[in-house]
Amino acid sequence: MGTKTSSSSVINSVIVQKYGGSSVADVDRIRNVANRIAKRVREGHKVVTVVSAMGKTTDNLISMAKSLVPKPDERELDMLLTTGEQISCALVAMALKDIGINAISLNAFQIRVLTTRHHTNARIMDIDEKRLKKYLQEHDVLVITGFQGITEDEHLTTLGRGGSDTSAVALAAKLGCDCEIYSDVAGVYTCDPKLYPQTKKLKYITYDDMLELAATGAKVLHSRSVEIAKKYNVRVYCGSSFSDEEGTWVVGTLPEWLEEPLVTGVSLDRNQVKVSIMDLPNDANIISDIFKRVAEKGINVDMISLVKNGTSTHLSFTVVPDRVEKIKDLLDDTLSVYGAKYHFYGQFAKITVVGTGMRSHYGVASKFLEVISKNGIEPEIITTSEIKISVLVPEEKAEELMKNICEEFDL
């Protein structure tokens, strides 16, 4: 994405807000969002508001497409899915105008959110700053469609699940201001409160910890939005649109008075499919070729395990279920050359403990694996980094295991 520019007098008073699908799910909630935005305008701010599609609109549109065509063309699917945000965007703008706020609704074409050509999973490359500033000079609120962009040759794209978060943080990076993300959850917790009601809410969390939690299943923020926030030093506030309860700030470093925890949080990512490729030749170029082809198809793979056995290599990795067909087609084309076989296994879940405190403390891995052993579980795959440990376990055992991990690490 283009570099952040210096702020003008208009930009100084701008706030970017994002409201998720549950926040705009019906007419009453849209009015509530309009009132929240209007309050900030009356406090002297200009507000750039990014909205998701209403409620389950995106899921319903995908179901409709698949009831018509088992494998919808991805370019046409993006054309369909972008209508969801346009509906909520227009309705929020109508509600704001009705209460006397100078607002305008805008889509990806109108502010030129330029993306890569990966349909259904595009990445933002740039946003037209001049257009943004022009609209901000003329209006107090810009209501902008999240989740979508356009290619250089003006085809509509979508950014993947959680893409509205990415849209909002990218806009804040461009405008040099804070970004507020509102949903039905009042901040970032050490664990999903729906799974573990005793979980603690964090007042602050670092970009690094939030990035790992988001990338491993926490639903509060999309991982790409955190990547952009870290790169451009955008402070992100996560709160609830249904209350004034204090939320969580995502920042570069914790305040000096706040002690860095050993483990910041634990996440659960369901619906993991394990892909295993057997009898590959012991050749690093072949492994590289497989992952290069996967990347070219715009497929994200997650946990990776590589085991050499004599003259052959066994490769395993995980993908989400909606990428299985793409992976299957790719492997059918690729592996026939090498005489290797592949299988899909599932359903699994990935549990991850995250904490920048792991850099300076030892014993987290042994404690984590001890809890897994006490639950009588043998992990399928284990991956680690400097600040996280992830395990792939049977999905039916994941929820109970996660609760035990929360208790063990006092989360």
DSSP of 14-52, one letter per residue?
A: EEEEEE-GGGGSSHHHHHHHHHHHHHHHHTT-EEEEEEP
Question: So what's the pLDDT on residue 259?
Answer: 66
Under the banding of pLDDT at 50, 70 and 90, the label for residue 260 is: low
Residues 6+ apart with CB under 8 A from 96: 34, 37, 38, 103, 141, 143
Closest CA to 247 of 212, 210, 196, 211: 210
Residues tagged in the binding site annotation: 18-21, 58, 85, 189, 219-220
Cα(206)–Cα(208) distance, integer angstroms: 5
> What confidence tens digit (pLDDT) does each residue in 319-342 have?
887 778 888 887 887 777 777 788
Which tokens hold the place of 70? Answer: 């088992």
What's the CATH architecture for 266-408? 2-Layer Sandwich (3.30)
Question: So what's the pLDDT on residue 258?
Answer: 64
In the chain, domain spans? 11-256, 266-408
Range in 152-156, 167-171, 246-250, 261-265 the model is least confident about: 261-265
Q: Which CATH superfamily is domain 11-256 in?
A: Acetylglutamate kinase-like (3.40.1160.10)
Under the banding of pLDDT at 50, 70 and 90, the label for residue 277 is: confident
Residues tagged in the binding site annotation for substrate: 58, 85
pLDDT, mean of residues 105-130? 93
DSSP per-residue letters across 363-376: -HHHHHHHHHHHTT
Which carries the bigger pLDDT value, residue 318 or residue 61? 61
Which residue matches tokens 């946990």? 303
Q: Catalogue the E-assigned strands of 25-135.
A: 46-51, 103-106, 113-115, 124-127
> Measuring CA to CA, how many Å separate 366 from each of 304, 389, 404?
21, 11, 15
Cα(50)–Cα(183) distance, integer angstroms: 12
Residues tagged in the binding site annotation for ATP: 18-21, 189, 219-220
